[in-house]
Amino acid sequence: MADVQAKSLTGKVALVTGGSRGIGAGIVRRLAMEGASVAFTYSSSEGRALQLVHEIESEGGKVSRFKADSASPSDLESVVRQTAEGLGPLDIFVSNAGILSLGTIDAYRLEDFDRMVNINVRAAFVGVQAAARSMNDGGRIIVIGSNTAVRTAFPGTSVYSLTKAALTGLVRGVAIDLAPRSITVNNVQPGPTLTEMTSDHVDLVKPLIPLKRMGEVSEIASLVTYLASKDAGFITGASITIDGGYVA
C-alpha cells in the first residue's frame, strides 16, 4: 500500500460497479491503495471477488464486495444503500460494469441489443442517480466508456459503440445537474487495454495504435484516481480518451 502521507483519498468512500476483474479490479486496487474505503460489485466471478478482497485487505486496505446484477435497478440501488449504511455517504462512484456482444446490424438480435443497453447505458443512469442521492457534496462520479464512442473501426461493434456514445451525452447533462453541489461527473474512454478479455485480439489491434502497444489496466486506474481526487475539481462533463493515440 502507498505511504500514509502519499494517500490522496484517505477518508473517502468509493463504490465501483463491475469491480472483480479487468479494468474494474484495477480501479478498486488503486482507490484502496490511495486510502479510500472501497465497495465493489460483481455478478458471477465470486472467486475473483474474494481473491481481490483478500489481496487488498492483506495490504491494509478496506474493501467490501456485493453480488449484484447490473441489469437490475433494484440490485444497484440496494448496493448504493448498503455501501452508504456500512461505510458512510459516498464520495466516489465509478460506473464500470459493461458487456460486449458483437454482431453486424443485419443479424443482431433484439434481445442482445436490449441487454447491452440495459447494462451499458441504463445501469450507468441508475447507478449515477442512486449514487448522487447518497453522495456528499463535492463528490466524484466517473463512468467508464470506450474510445469506440469516437471510432468504431471494426464490423460488428455498432451497438457497443452506440451504448458508449450514449455515455458522453449522459455525463454532460449530469455534470450540469450536479454542479450546484460541486459534484464532478466525467467519462473515461479507454482504448485497447490488456486484460483477459482482450488477450486474443492483441495482434489485430496493436498495429492500429500509434504507440504500438496495448494500454495497461494501471494506466486507466491512474486516470480514474486522478479524476476522483481533489486536484481534478475543475474537470466536469468531460469525456477523456486514453488509448495510445488510436483515435488521433
Is 160 noted as a catalytic residue in this protein? yes
Distance CA 210, CA 153 (A): 15
Residues in the chain: 248
Q: Which stretches does DSSP call E strand in the chain?
A: 13-17, 37-42, 62-67, 90-95, 135-144, 184-190, 239-242
Structure-block grid coordinates of residue 37: 474505503
Contacts of 232 (CB under 8 A, 6+ apart): 140, 184, 186, 226
Contacts of 212 (CB under 8 A, 6+ apart): 206, 244
Structure-block grid coordinates of residue 100: 460486449
List 108, 160, 226, 246, catalytic entry: 160
**What are the catalytic residues?**
160
